[in-house]
A and B are shown apart, each in its own frame.
Chain A
């Protein structure tokens, strides 16, 4: 408890803390809207706000490189991938009333219980600790790159192999005919007539939706 006296209290916040709390409120609100809205595309767009808010929090924590990586990868590519996924699975633009499943009260109870428990534990554990943001730069590109390529080279290269495996796996999974269909003609006829073909007559653009994109991807 005597450590608490050595640190500034919660009643006199610094400017960084005020900005952090404000951006945190915006981030949290965007996250809540993401998981509760009934418009699927709006959920993806609010996710952009939440992830961008987290990038600003990284900047406030002086982790500059992580912040730009967050903007590049999450806001730039993951959300675009999610939007493409929504588009290819024919998500409705307007309200979709069945966006939430039936176990919503249970989910709310679990989330509130975990939030209450974790907030209690975390506040009790860390309320007396203070992050010194002014001492030295912790997350500039030079510092992060030096530690990454001096101490973490082997995991970094393993990560590149993982990304390559994920790339190949995604291409293999999203090919339309699968690996056995190298021969001429539609090999998967008996299988494909069950799920995919009956949807074609009443929806003429079925084959131009998910089929064309994945077909082009498979031919690449």
Chain B
């Protein structure tokens, strides 16, 4: 068999997995795409192990390890997904944006208020955390509506 056949198939499967990871919104579909990418790598490992006639069978051993690690990864990943779903009511990647930076205007506004607070020790001590919490509550309510 030509080595190009399994290599090209692995490349195409990997690209399909890349598309799925980037384009999907549900976390579980993203995990499925990750599995596709791992399987593409496994196919490459097996093909090159058979081609090189490795006496240690490094490729097949590494394939078994990748399969086991992928099983562990899917277990932990699904536990995390279930925890996120229980806390947020959604499993969409797009809605989990608590750690994102705010828009540029909001950042400069926070910087300005911070500068104002620094300039004069006045009233607005709890002014900056408010937008964050209200935004998170909005995200939660949106998730609950779709759930």
Binding site for B on A (CB under 8 A): 7-8, 10, 14, 16-17, 20-21, 24, 27-28, 31-32, 34-35, 40, 43-44, 47, 50-51, 54, 57-58, 60-63, 65-66, 69-70, 73-74, 77-78, 81-82, 84-86, 88-91, 96, 98-104, 106-108, 110-112, 114-115, 118-119, 122-123, 126-127, 129-131, 133, 135-136, 138-139, 143-144, 147-148, 151-152, 155, 159, 162-163, 165-167, 169-170, 173-174, 176, 194-196, 198-199, 203, 210-211, 214
Residues 77-96 of B contacting A (Cβ, < 8 Å): 78-83, 85-89, 91-94
Query: Known contacts A78-B70, A118-B15, A131-B2; is A174 also within 8 Å of B79 by CB?
Result: yes
B147 and A199 contact, CB distance less than 8 A = yes
B71 and A77 contact, CB distance less than 8 A = yes
B76 and A166 contact, CB distance less than 8 A = yes
Q: How far is the CB of A55 from chain B (nearest CB, A)?
A: 10
A130 and B2 contact, CB distance less than 8 A = yes
A-B complex: 10 closest residue pairs judged by Cβ atoms: A35-B20, A107-B22, A166-B72, A111-B19, A115-B15, A107-B23, A173-B79, A147-B57, A101-B25, A129-B3
Kindly state the separation between the CA atoms of A101 and B91 in the bound complex, as whole angstroms.
13
Q: How far is the CB of B140 from chain A (nearest CB, A)?
A: 6
Q: Which size class do B's interface residues fall under?
A: 35 or more
B61 and A61 contact, CB distance less than 8 A = no
* Contacts A66-B64, A165-B72 known; 15 new A-B pairs at CB < 8 A: A51-B39, A60-B1, A70-B42, A74-B39, A99-B25, A103-B22, A119-B8, A131-B2, A131-B47, A133-B50, A138-B50, A147-B61, A159-B68, A199-B144, A203-B147
A129 and B23 contact, CB distance less than 8 A = no
Question: Which single member of B13, B16, B46 contacts A58 (CB below 8 Å)?
Answer: B46
Q: 13 A–B contact pairs at CB < 8 A?
A: A34-B20, A47-B35, A51-B35, A61-B46, A63-B63, A65-B60, A73-B68, A82-B31, A84-B78, A88-B85, A111-B15, A144-B64, A173-B82
Query: Known contacts A50-B36, A195-B88; is A40 also within 8 Å of B140 by CB?
Result: no
Kindly state the separation between the CA atoms of A51 and B140 in the bound complex, as whole angstroms.
36
Kindly state the separation between the CA atoms of A96 and B57 in the bound complex, as whole angstroms.
44
Question: Which single member of B23, B74, B92 contacts A82 (CB below 8 Å)?
Answer: B74
Kindly state the separation between the CA atoms of A152 and B59 in the bound complex, as whole angstroms.
12
Query: Known contacts A35-B36, A131-B51, A155-B65; is A199 also within 8 Å of B89 by CB?
Result: yes
A32 and B25 contact, CB distance less than 8 A = no
Q: Any chain A CB within 8 A of the CB of B53?
A: yes
Q: Any chain A CB within 8 A of the CB of B67?
A: yes
Which residues does chain B contribute within 8 Å of A143, judged by CB atoms?
Answer: 57
